[in-house]
Amino acid sequence: MLILGIETSCDDTSVAVLRIENDKPSVLSNIVSSQVKLHNEFGGVVPILAAREHERNLPVVLDEAMKVASLKFKDIDLIAVTSGPGLIMSLVKGVNFAKDLAQKNNKPIIGVNHMAGHIYSNWLSLPTTHYPLFPALCLTVSGGHTELVFMKNHGEYELIGKTLDDAAGEAFDKIARLIGLEYPGGPAIARTAMEFSISNSQFSIKLPRPMMYSKDLNFSFSGLKTSVLYLVRDLTVPLDSARSEIAHEAQEAIVDVLMHKTKKAIEMHQPKSVLLAGGVSANKLLREKIQTLHENVFIPPMEYTTDNAAMIAMAGYYEFKRLKFKSLKLLEADANWEIV
Ligand code: KG4
Ligand code: ZN
């Protein structure tokens, strides 16, 4: 089976071709056109610019994906497109483009939940004998979402914890901005944190771990951002000399909270495997720490951590198997589509 994946939920335009034989995927192409440079100037994603870029990029990225896969459009069996959650103007561009392709070429189409896509990035590079066992606990951490999802089987999700305000990636992005680092903030903070070591600590900066000890599995990150805001405002030394220490402590605080709640969820729900997913799963510290929580931890290969269409095609495959695809007419972008 050959699946064309299309992803435009935020600021990356991506098209991928996935071949699946006996449940085993091979990524034939996965083209990602990033808009980071464009949005960097504004310190974050500008929705109207993102939508305009998607419209411009989609045909080019599609051509490239077909060329790299050495296929013709008639070979494709299914189109899988992200239909939510995400920025509505961005989603609409991808969904309309995919619907148009499906109609003109008479292909079946399926709408994929972006967060389910992130979860399925864990299926992209494993032998079928090593797939995650259910029930699985998924920690999905991206720019827009921070969730603990209990997955009983393919397509069966229960949301057992989520952020009450900012997402973990959003916290990285906002804190980065406060300390003068570029967008996206996650990689910038991780890089800057590496310049710090405890032995050169000058300020003994300590940031809060919001809600770490609350009884539930929910998160809150906006207080952390506010703490950094006050810290920077009240600094008595130049920011340049404190930046790496703030970056280090902010990363430690975010990862501590994520790990603490994931550990608690494992104790409460006894999953057979633990999956990390979403753009923040690119974070090295998080990737290392989560491995210590359970004997069966899955982390996506680096190339599939941030937004890409290969993961959307993968999730689309399992949705298609469950026959939950919508007719062309009913498929619409839904900016607030919850995974459950
Ligand atoms: O999943 P994603 O590509 O887009 C959304 O669906 O939101 O996630 C993007 C988020 C951004 O907030 C970015 O700062 C964060 O992932 N991110 C990281 C790292 N790489 C990307 N956060 C921490 N450490 C990283 N290395
Ligand atoms: Zn994402």
Residue-level pLDDT, tens digit, the chain, 340 residues: 999 999 999 999 999 999 999 999 999 999 999 998 899 888 889 999 999 999 999 999 999 999 999 999 999 999 999 999 999 999 999 999 999 999 999 999 999 999 999 999 999 999 999 999 999 999 999 999 999 999 999 999 999 999 999 999 999 999 999 999 999 999 999 999 999 987 777 788 999 999 999 999 999 999 999 999 999 999 999 999 999 999 999 999 999 999 999 999 999 999 999 999 999 999 999 999 999 999 999 999 999 999 999 999 999 999 999 865 666 778 999 999 999 8
d(CA 139, CA 146): 7
Inter-CA distances, 314 with 75, 154, 199, 201, 218, Å: 17, 11, 45, 45, 28
For ligand 1, atom 14, name the residue with the nearest CA. 186
The per-residue pLDDT for 325 is: 62
Task: Evaluate whether residue 209 is within a structural domain.
Answer: yes
What 3-state class would DSSP assign to 209? coil
291 and 307 share one domain: no
Task: Evaluate whether residue 252 is within a structural domain.
Answer: yes
Task: Evaluate whether residue 335 is within a structural domain.
Answer: no
Q: How many domains does the chain have?
A: 2
192 and 282 share one domain: yes
153 and 101 share one domain: no
58 and 104 share one domain: yes
**How far does the centroid of ligand 1 lie from the alpha carbon of residue 169, in Å?**
5
Please choose, from the candidates 154, 169, 158, 159, the residue with its C-alpha nearest in 3D space to the C-alpha of residue 314: 154
237 and 308 share one domain: no
Q: Which residues line ligand 1 (CB under 6 A)?
A: 10, 142-144, 169, 172-173, 184-187, 190, 278-280, 282-283, 306-307
100 and 140 share one domain: no
CATH of the domain at 28: 3.30.420.40
288 and 169 share one domain: yes
d(CA 186, CA 41): 17
69 and 53 share one domain: yes
Ligand nearest to the CA of 254: 1
Task: Evaluate whether residue 340 is within a structural domain.
Answer: no
The per-residue pLDDT for 74 is: 95
Range of the domain at 14: 2-125+302-330
46 and 154 share one domain: no
201 and 86 share one domain: no
Whether the upstream peptide bond of residue 85 has omega within 30° of 0, thus cis, is yes
119 and 245 share one domain: no
